[in-house]
Amino acid sequence: MELDSIVLDIDGVLVDVSESYRRSITETIESLCGEEFSLDWVQSLKNSGGFNDDWELTDAGILCILAQHHGYPGTIVSLIDQIKKRGGGLSNTRILISELVGKSAEKEWDPRTVRALFQSLYLGRDNYLDCFNHEPIIDVPGYCLSEKTLISNKTLNFITKNFQVGVLTGRPSFEASMFLDTLGLKTEEKCTLTMETSPQKKPEPGGLISIAKQLNSSNIAFVGDSVDDIQTVINAKKIDNSRNYFSIGVLTGGISGTVGERLLKNSGADEVIPSINDLPNILLNSSI
């Protein structure tokens, strides 16, 4: 069976965001709560599922620390474990913390301030002004400047010459366009779905199914770096039996090595590869 289409996630697949989005998450939490929030905790929240949106992940991290401030006696790790058991995501986090410490923690949480600070750190003043037409909370060059492209020109050329290509990302449209323009990856507008334009957030399958329909694809693979990305494909298979969906996990988005490979495989990935640049080889030599 030959693939005709490939859909790409951006963060952790096409670009290294460890010094941009991940840094924005931890520094937003630390600035608003006055305590450190480790990158390991960020990844653990990601792995619990339901946190494709980095703003919502940041909200959850803040609520975890506020829960401790308001009487939760356990560690952040134990709290994240409970969030995972509930199915992950911000909604389940809010319910759990309300059960544990009441509404006192949530009363201190202001998602509008979280987003304004996060975007100020990530975008920097110039991009923030372009996007929002007003001054950011803090004037910094922008952590987006630290992003490093993961995909080689050779791999990008292979993908675009041999397949129809779509993009499915949790990034806001402005930030997705900012990176894709720099990369030089051009797709049809309806085949690049972002935070604002996708009909559903991952792991709900609406965005992936929409792209598959736009491409009139019969056999389509989604390349992602997270449990949510793999689950998106699983959910698409349940709803749309008119085409074949495949998931390919990459180990460049915060999980790596045998532990990362096991996590993605156990989540249902059809293939797991070290990086996006291993994609040509796996497509030429696998049963996909």
**At residue 113, does pLDDT exceed 80?**
yes
User: How far is residue 13's CA from residue 252's CA, in Å, rounded to a whole number?
Assistant: 6
Instruction: Give residue 286's pLDDT.
Output: 73
**At residue 158, does pLDDT exceed 80?**
yes
* 3-7, 194-198, 280-284: least confident range: 280-284
Q: Give the count of beta carbons closer than 10 Å to the beta carbon of residue 144.
A: 20
Q: Is the dihedral of CA 77, 81, 87, 93 positive or negative?
A: negative
Q: What are phi and psi of 252, to 5 degrees?
A: -125, 15
How large is the average pLDDT for residues 207-213? 98
pTM greater than 0.85 (yes/no): yes
Alpha helices in 201-276 (DSSP H): 206-214, 227-239, 257-266
Average pLDDT, the chain: 96
User: How far is residue 29's CA from residue 113's CA, in Å, rounded to a whole number?
Assistant: 11
Residue 1's pLDDT band (boundaries 50, 70, 90)?
low
Query: What angle in degrees, to the nearest 10, is found between the helix axes of 90-101 and 76-85?
Result: 120
How large is the average pLDDT for residues 139-143? 95
**At residue 98, does pLDDT exceed 80?**
yes
- Which amino acid would we find at residue 259? V
User: How far is residue 219's CA from residue 241's CA, in Å, rounded to a whole number?
Assistant: 11
Q: What are phi and psi of 245, to 5 degrees?
A: -110, 140
Instruction: Give residue 256's pLDDT.
Output: 92
Q: Is the dihedral of CA 110, 89, 35, 114 positive or negative?
A: negative
Instruction: Give residue 2's pLDDT.
Output: 87
Inter-residue contact 167 to 48 (CB < 8 Å):
no
Q: Tens of pLDDT along 31-84?
A: 999 999 999 999 999 999 999 999 999 999 999 999 999 999 999 999 999 999
Q: Tens of pLDDT along 213-272?
A: 999 999 999 999 999 999 999 999 999 999 999 999 999 999 999 999 999 999 999 999
Q: Which residues contact 195 (CB under 8 A, 6 or more apart)?
A: 53, 169, 170, 171, 172, 173, 201
**All structural domains of the chain:** 5-16+148-285 (3.40.50.1000), 21-132 (no CATH)
**At residue 212, does pLDDT exceed 90?**
yes
Query: What angle in degrees, to the nearest 10, is found between the helix axes of 39-48 and 54-69?
Result: 110
Instruction: Give residue 284's pLDDT.
Output: 84
